[in-house]
Amino acid sequence: MGEFEVHRVRFFGLVPAGVRCLACHPRGTRLALARTDGAVEVYNFSANYFQEKVIPGHEARSVESLCWAAGDRLFGAGLGGDITEYDLSGLSAARGLDGGGGPIWSMVANSTGTQLAIGCEDGSVKIFQVVPGGIQFERNLDRRKGRVLCLSWHPSDTHIVAGSIDFFRVINVTSGQTVQRIMVNHRVEKAKRECVVWAIALLSSGTVVSADSFGRVQFWDWEQGTLAESHTVSTSAVLSLAVSQKEDSMIVGTSTGATYHLQLLPVRLGGLEKRWVRTKPFQFHSHDVRAVAHSPTALISGGLDAQLVIRPLMEKVQKKSYDAALRKFTFPHRRLVSCARKARLLLFQFSQYLELWRLGSTEETGKDGEVLPLCRMPEHLVQLKSKGPEHIYCSCVSPCGTWLGYSTASRFQLYRVRCDGDGVSLRKVPKVPKLLPPAYQLQFSADSESLFVASARGSVHVLQLLEPGGCKHLHTLRPPSGCSEAVYLLAPSADGHWLAAVTGDWAIHIYNLKCFKHHCVVPNYDCAVSALAIHPSTNNLVIAYSDQQLFEFSIPEKQYTSWSRAVQSRGLHRAWLERDSPITHITFNPKNPSHILLHDTYLLCVLDKSLPLPDDSALLMNQSTLKQLPETARKRQLHAFKICKKFQPLLFMDLLDKNCLVVVERPIMDFKTQLPLPVQQKKFGT
């Protein structure tokens, strides 16, 4: 694998925000997720569950509910009282409308996606019509005392069921009147305690399914007003519920972190009578499961522990394959760390501030695996706070460590960094060119003389950095055929000649920076790009896709290289393709041009192009395991993939020089200790 001096960094204090709500696209192709800090993310199922879009949060915008409507339009609502439509091309909150009923606790779309119903703090249920360019208020339904915490449409769109504290009611949409009101706690001995209906569903059969704070999932005949079935699934609250499209399966989430799967099964084999049967709990989360979703092939849950868990329904999987694997996502599929190689600085991005650190150093040498003592400790140089309620979209520090930039939804800021001995000073660059914010990614050139700003509609702005601390706009690069999507990845070449830019429609455009012209487009591949980089000596573009495929494209020759064609002809190892974490960074070894370094959350890999690719019978072994084998066995296992799993979870990796590597880890338990205490559960023997 090669020997490097490794700076192992564990002082990135990132605490991912918890999952507040989920919305599965009606066609089952995408999943929208909102976090407790107001951020909205979109995962693409067909692109290996890649987090393809991120809209950063806002201090004044909470998101209590998300829903898809009118095809691919995404709406959110929260305690601020506004209904917001998200621009998924421009990655921003596009437009908002006051709901008119105070804080909004719930929102659902009807079966055709043409109407939205919201449940408000003042007890009202309001209907909005989805129209081109926005939404418009249609009418109020019957208002009753008590906040409306959850809603569900009947599949025929004739009725809406609204859950509140101690009761739920069924409303006729045509007349707007309440036709049934059912108390959910009338059978409970301790009726003095409030029973909160946290989630509800109205099935096509007329059955109402309620989930409440007493830990029950109950099935009601709303026309008769009677309880048909009751399942006490938890000693604490049931917080969320989602039903499959066929209405034969559902998932519920609880405040203990457990999720339960309920299925509608025949009482007798071959019989017509069916009952809901509860399976055992699945303890994938440590905290409240506030959000669940049911796709055609999987059960999905999101907890306040920041984890998104996707558990496939085995009966829906046609054959044993990667689709049958359990997936857990905790960290974003994008970089929140940037590195000033020459200055040995790290820039950490948080939601509303940045931290600049200087790496420690050692004068000792040692054997492989030995921990060396530091002669200089890592140093926290400065914290830069973003003004206002907007969260940070992206940030970057220049390779020389003298420039720093970041962007929010409405502001782009550039700073000059000066290190004076042990201190550091920041000076804001005045009169920054008025670019159309936000910037979706920032990338400095290798010589720190230019800054590339990824913008909307496929455009990239090129800024020239001036001494002693200024900048000017040189050019705006645009794809020749136009593009409606924003640029989300950039990769400049080391010689300053080329720039690769990836847009939200997964197209990769190559630009010539000497003449500011569009050079070519990489042949289309139907999957999201997760990382890319240009080789410093060959100007070959190495591309990692979210389905774990790797390509190498010669920029000067405008075609795939012979190595890339050989890889696609032979195929990558099955164990490599079955990984669920996308590659997030690629770099190259200056000591060996045939080495490509890449990493995901769980492994660091050196890909040696000079060695043969492994076939599926070979083992993709961790390097620590490989070293324990005899010399002859190691030679038999020699192939292109050299894998290290020592550093986990791995958020960032880069080469500082030809002998030095920096890795940034964020152990799960380190940030879980900073979360509120979960509901304590009695364990046997304690």
What pLDDT digit, counting tens, does each position of 488-504 carry?
999 999 999 999 999 99
Residue 30 has pLDDT above 50, yes or no: yes
Q: What pLDDT digit, counting tens, does each position of 562-574 carry?
A: 999 999 999 999 9
Q: What's 332's DSSP letter? A: -
Closest of 411, 402, 486, 408 to residue 451, by C-alpha: 402
Beta strands, E only, 244-391:
249-254, 259-266, 274-278, 291-294, 298-302, 308-312, 327-329, 337-340, 345-349, 353-358, 379-385
- The mean-pLDDT minimum among 153-157, 190-194, 263-267 falls in 190-194
Find the range with the poorest average confidence among 74-78, 225-229, 507-511, 676-680.
676-680
Task: Give the dihedral sign, CA 591/595/596/599.
Answer: negative
List pLDDT tens digits, range 188-221: 555 568 999 999 999 999 999 999 999 999 999 9
With 0.85 as the threshold, say if the pTM is over it: yes
Q: Are 115 and 130 in contact (CB under 8 A)?
A: yes
433: pLDDT strictly greater than 70: yes
Q: Is the pLDDT of residue 586 over 70?
A: yes
Positive or negative CA dihedral for 41, 47, 49, 51?
A: negative
Nearest residue to 243 (alpha-carbon basis) of 276, 284, 272: 276
Q: How confident is the model at residue 619 (pLDDT cuts 50, 70, 90)?
A: confident
Span 294-340, pLDDT tens digits:
999 899 999 999 999 999 887 665 554 556 678 999 999 999 999 99
Amino acid 4: pLDDT = 80
pLDDT of 186 strictly over 70: no
Does residue 132 have a pLDDT over 90?
yes
Query: What pLDDT, on the 0 to 100 scale, is given for residue 686?
Result: 46
The pLDDT value given to residue 32: 98
Q: What is the pLDDT of residue 683?
A: 54
d(CA 544, CA 616): 20
Q: Mean pLDDT across the chain, nearest whole number?
A: 91
Residue 623: per-residue pLDDT: 63
Q: Among residues of the chain, what percentage have pLDDT more than 90?
A: 74
Rounded average pLDDT over 248-257: 94
Q: Where are the domains of the chain?
A: 337-674
What kind of fold does domain 337-674 have according to CATH?
Answer: Methylamine Dehydrogenase; Chain H (2.130.10)
Which pLDDT band, with edges at 50, 70 and 90, does 56 fall under? very high
Q: Which two tokens stand for residue 406?
A: 């970041």
